[in-house]
A and B are shown apart, each in its own frame.
Chain A
Amino acid sequence: MSMGFSANMSFIRRAFRKSKPKVISVSTHQNTWRDYALILVPYLWMILFFLLPFLIIFKISLSVTQIAIPPYSPIVTFEEGAMQIILHLENYTNIFTDPEGTYWRSYLKSIEVAFFSTFFCLIIGYPLAWALATSKPAIRNVVFMLIIMPSWTSFVVRIYAWMTIMKKDGLINDLLIHFGIIDSPITMLQTDFAVYVGIVYCYLPYMVLPLFSALMKVDYSLIEAAYDLGCKPVKTFFTTLVPQTKSGIVAGSMLVFIPALGEYVIPELLGGKGSILIGRVLWQEFFNNRDWPLASAVAITMLLILTIPIIWFYKIERKEQEGAYGK
């Protein structure tokens, strides 16, 4: 028994020894197709679920609405043997020439909300990330859990929770009245304030995490060097910490700004009827007015607006890699 077993083992060992050089030669020379296969997976994913839908939306944006299924005119038609391609651009011109200015107003409002939300996230997130990066590992793990744990519950449920906290007879008003700070409840729901609270609350982790990872890599002796050379605390922050964490600041800001710009649920549940953000406009055009072409044009325009900060982001990233630390 034991003889047979050990014989088997030695066979396996020999097989291993033999196969080893083969594996090396395969991995160095003949596996370019594997590289392609590997990279094809994410590409396929992006083509199927991003590029294709994008092209469909783009196509719809160039048609006009009609009462039919689907509710828009075809771009390519055949009539008496002639192929006609009709591209309607009026959806795009409508966005900017709308007499009430609904669209560009809501774009501006969305940009404003996204910008200030990002700003508040940055202001709250930076000290938080700093505290995390400089705390003891044991405490750090606990705080990390506290930051990430809320995202285990549904996003919508958490927004509803904020509704009960901020409503007229909600937690905040009750507490403030109880302690005699105010006499009558403050209206918080259906205001921009509530929208900001909701967005900052939901997107804060996306700001904190990249900031934290940037702060972990900071060379703290640079702070001391700046102090030593006569730089006052606030200026030291901007001359040593900010440049070193620039990539984290930009990444965090992008992660907040981009989704906040198209945010629909939070303004819908917490925001007032007066402030119309682009997400709500999209919803209304698609589902209430069933004007798919116009809604598509609004969506495409929003995407174009977003490409500006994204391009800027990549520029900074590239500069960072080439600039201070070499390639």
Chain B
Amino acid sequence: MEKTPLNTAKGTDKTINKVQHRPGDLPGQKPSPAEQNRRPILEIKKLNKTFETFKAVDDVDLTLYEGEIFALLGSSGCGKSTLLRMLAGFEKPSSGSILLDGKEIIGVPPYKRPVNMMFQSYALFPYMTVKQNIAFGLKQDKIPKAELEERVEKMLKLVHMENYVDRKPYQLSGGQKQRVALARSLAKEPRVLLLDEPMGALDKKLREQMRLELVDIINAVGVTCLMVTHDQEEAMTMADRIAIMDRGEFIQIGGPREIYENPNCRFCAEFIGSVNIFDCTLLSSNKQHSLIKANDFNNNIELEHDIDLADGMPLTIAIRPEKIYISKEDPQQDTNICEGVVENIAYLGDISIYYVRLLSGRLISATLPNVDRFKQGLPTWDDKVYLSWDPESCIALTI
């Protein structure tokens, strides 16, 4: 049995979570660029940014590899935008270094950095046509006219805007504006593309469609991409790796699946997706077996691996709602089970969320696909139900 990597304490060790991917281990997980021995392109070392007394970015280390899409995920005010703006050159770091292709770029003005940004509001020049907007960056480099025309043409084709060359931005829809903004930021073939809340200005439907389109375009160009978002779905669909940021620090860095399945702390578990958190005490732990007492129900939680903690110590167990089985019949097991009463059911179309009140008074959520729910015999309001789960569904967290 493998050992679930338990978190190294966040406060004591700032170089958080050395990602250890096992290719093929997690189905659906793309091998990370780090594994493919790709060259690091951007290295951020001990980067700090302090606004007066407020630490916006706190001692951040990050390495970006050639060709990957990396997402900085966090709620507003966590410092992700400040970090992005430091890379673009709009903010000056308080200390630390940013190496692009091994060369220090702090102090290099934004107009000399081989980095381009797609702005949240797109920042298209309103008095220029689509074509002029895309050509703007190339014109600054004094590229010969023939080559410029050719490259602009290529960009227009890439984002499927060939039929809109002479339109002004106000004549475009939100999605079209975004494509132009993307083309403009890609036209100069930047070493790193920065995306600031790329879907922030789009409505929900268009957002979902543009995510994949954007990834396709970025992959077609092969540019390394650093995006900032507060939308976890967006980060998970688009990015190869995600860094969860809080109060200027990276809490966890990893692939979408790893971050969801193996959050390294309570904050990450609660931040990504929804989760039931139980305060527990470790009863015993050996190589293949850990027994845990939860405060909210009588039966114990059993894990099939050890936990690096002394017996009797408190810990947290997190269980995702979709990994909880819900049934009216007693599944006849001694561990990983609790009982309660269905208090509420939320119908979301594809799934239903059951809110089950435990005897202790705790409310637990468990989801059920609606394919199953409307079969006969499944629990409904006020039914007494048993909630159970597999040992591997539990995430043991020490902080």
Contact = CB atoms under 8 A, between A and B. Distances in A.
B260 interface: no
Contacts of A224: 88, 90, 110, 117, 119, 123
Given A324-B126, A324-B170, A231 B119 contact: no
7 contacts: A221-B121, A222-B125, A225-B119, A225-B124, A232-B140, A233-B111, A326-B171
Given A221-B121, A324-B168, A326-B171, A229 B137 contact: yes
Contacts of A219: 121, 123, 126
Contact of B137 (A222, A230, A235): A230
Interface residues of A, number: 23
B126 A225 contact: no
A232 B111 contact: yes
Contacts of B140: 229-232, 235
A324 B126 CA distance: 5
Interface string A211-249: 000000001011011111111110110011001100000
Nearest to B119: A221
Interface in A20-35: none
A4 interface: no
B109 interface: yes
Interface of B: 88-90, 109-112, 115-117, 119, 121, 123-127, 136-137, 140-141, 168, 170-171, 184-185, 188
Nearest to A221: B123
Interface in A167-220: 219
A77 to B, nearest CB: 59
Contacts of B171: 326
Max chain A CB contacts within 10 Å: which of B111, B136, B168, B185? Answer: B111
Interface of A: 219, 221-222, 224-233, 235-236, 239-240, 243-244, 323-326
A119 to B, nearest CB: 24
A116 to B, nearest CB: 29
**A interface SS class:** helix
Contacts of B137: 229-230
A222 B116 CA distance: 13
Max chain B CB contacts within 10 Å: which of A224, A227, A229? Answer: A229
Contacts of B188: 229-230
Contacts of B110: 224, 227-228
A326 B170 CA distance: 7
Contacts of A231: 111, 136, 140
A226 B136 contact: yes
A227 B123 contact: no
Contacts of B123: 219, 221-222, 224-225
A315 to B, nearest CB: 16
Contacts of A325: 126, 170
